[in-house]
Amino acid sequence: MQPFVVELTSLAPGTNRFDWHAGAEFFESFGNADILDADLEVTAHVVCHGLTAEVACEIAGSVTVACDRCLEDLVIPVDTSFGESYTPDGGELDLSQDVYDYVCISLPLQRVHPEGECNQETTKYLSK
C-alpha cells in the first residue's frame, strides 16, 4: 500500500486507523524545494460510509527550512489536523495532497530564528 492511500474496499466496519511517516522525500515528490527535511507522523482515522468517507487526520513533528534572515537551517515544529468528508473516485482515497497542503499552510509566513539565534557571521552584514 502506498503511503497516504487508503483502500476503501478493504476497510473493516467502524473507525480504521492509519499511521504514516512523512520525510523530505514526501515534499520533494511535490517539487517543494523550501522544505529541506521533515520528520512528521501522520495519523488518520477513516470511517467509510459506502459512497463517502470521513477522515480525521493529525500531523505532528517538524520540518526544516532555510531561515529567511541568515539562510541557516531552521527547525519548525508542526502540530496540525484536519477533518474532511470525501467522495472517493474508485476504491481508494489518496490523502497525500491534503497532508501536504495542511503542513504547508501551518508554517509561518516569516521563517526566522528567535532573536539572537541566527548565524552571527551572516547577520553582521545585514545591518550595514
Is the pLDDT at 127 greater than 80, yes or no?
Answer: no
Domain count, the chain: 1
Q: Is residue 128, in this structure, part of any structural domain at all?
A: no
Residue-wise over 61-89: b if at least 16 C-beta within 10 A, else e?
bebebebebbeeebeeebeeebeeebeee
* Domain limits for position 101: 5-123
Q: Is residue 87, in this structure, part of any structural domain at all?
A: yes
Q: Is residue 60, in this structure, part of any structural domain at all?
A: yes
- pTM for this prediction: 0.90
Express each pLDDT in 27-45 by its tens digit. 999 999 999 999 999 999 9
Express each pLDDT in 86-116 by its tens digit. 988 778 899 999 999 999 999 999 999 998 8
